[in-house]
Amino acid sequence: MFLLWGLANNMTDTLLAAFKRIMAMSDTQTSLIQFAFYGSYFCFALPAALFIRKKSFKSGIILGLLLYAFGAMLFMPAAYAASYGFYLVAIYIMAGGCSVLETSANPYILSMGSPETATRRLNIAQSFNPVGSIVGIMMSKYFILDDISLYSISGTYAALGLILLGILVIMLFAKMPMGRDNGQQDGVRESFSRLLANRIYRRGVIAQFFYVGAQIGVWSFTIRLVMQEMGWRESEASTIYLISIIGHCLSRFVYTWLMKWIAPARLLMIGGLLSTIMALCVAFGSGTGNILLIALILVSTFMSLMFPTIYGLALGDIAKGEHPNDSKIGASGLIMAILGGAILTPIQGYISDTSGVYCSYLLPTFCFMVVTAYAVYATRHFAKRKV
């Protein structure tokens, strides 16, 4: 499951470059793709949490796969209609499925096994997310960007929808453990009250909002930036995007290994500082050629631990506390924070249109600073508790 939504996320990133050429759109207009995708994450997360709270984690995964497949299949009629609005609807439904999958799978991973290693366990599972990203970029590179047309886009997504239906059938018959649960079913209002009173969780949601905005902004405009800096075509520039995701994937395994000796909050602080520095190098790197490309790749490499680590730090105490069912509602808050990708990416697109694509990377720079500040707070928080 972690691989599958990584695939959708990064295939969607490449659509910005594709639609810019097909429909002659501005960066602000193409960024509506990310608004639809990550706005859907926000809208579906809480209903998904309430659904799995009433049913089960497995039921959430089945529902997520169904929506994901349906949205992908809608790309084909969108091509026949040649309607950008229709595509946005298909993306919205597909992303809704991914939101349900994430809201189900992340707390499920935290609930299975020792609470002390929950953050490491989530990092291991999340390591398969960029593997899916690599697959998605390869599919985009060879089936979409090499021959950009509405039908190459739609055919690729429709084929993915058929694969998802096959996985859905397998999951229907798969036996899955229930996950740790103390059987308490307090009201939703009580769960919200406890979550809002929890500072490490509340600030984690804010940090996650800005991290996702940074990640999506960095990746959404990578191809555009490389094309402008190096004078390459979309398919050539996507190679740098692919290398960035490979670095993101490999470094997540490294970060997970380092967590044996270095506290997750401290690693998050180091990754935040390095990502901030690299994003600044990109923002002011116009005309530096390969130096800019290296900085762009290193941004993805250093930020790779952020999503699962923020998630684990914010939700870990809740999952192992007196009210572990709160983690299902808490998970929805952290997934709703993915709204950062919907809100901040169009802002970055506007900056790119008005001040240049290089200058637009100052927005991810600020976002990484917010994540670093959360890491500093979390380090002090857990140091006081000697955790």
Q: Can you list the domains of the chain with their CATH numbers?
A: 2-178+186-385 (1.20.1250.20)
Q: CB of 22 within 8 A of CB of 144?
A: no
Residue-averaged pLDDT of the chain: 84
| Res 303: pLDDT | 94
pTM of the model: 0.77
The residue among 124, 131, 368, 366 whose CA lies nearest residue 247 is 131
Residues 266 and 355: their CA atoms lie apart, in Å, by 35
- The residue whose two tokens read 């999951």 is 171
Instruction: Give the model's confidence band at 182: pLDDT under 50 very low, under 70 low, under 90 confident, else very high.
Output: very low
87-123 pLDDT per residue, tens: 899 999 999 999 898 888 887 887 777 766 777 788 7
Helix 264-283, helix 118-126: angle, nearest 10: 40
| Res 299: pLDDT | 95
pLDDT at 324 over 80: no
Show the tokens assigned to 312.
């684990």
pLDDT at 9 over 60: yes
| Res 376: pLDDT | 94
| Res 181: pLDDT | 47
Average pLDDT over every residue of 44-73: 88
Q: CB of 48 within 8 A of CB of 56?
A: no
The share of the chain scoring above pLDDT 70, in percent, equals 93
- The residue whose two tokens read 């996507």 is 238
| Res 162: pLDDT | 93
| Res 319: pLDDT | 55
Query: Higher-confidence residue: 292 or 34?
Result: 292
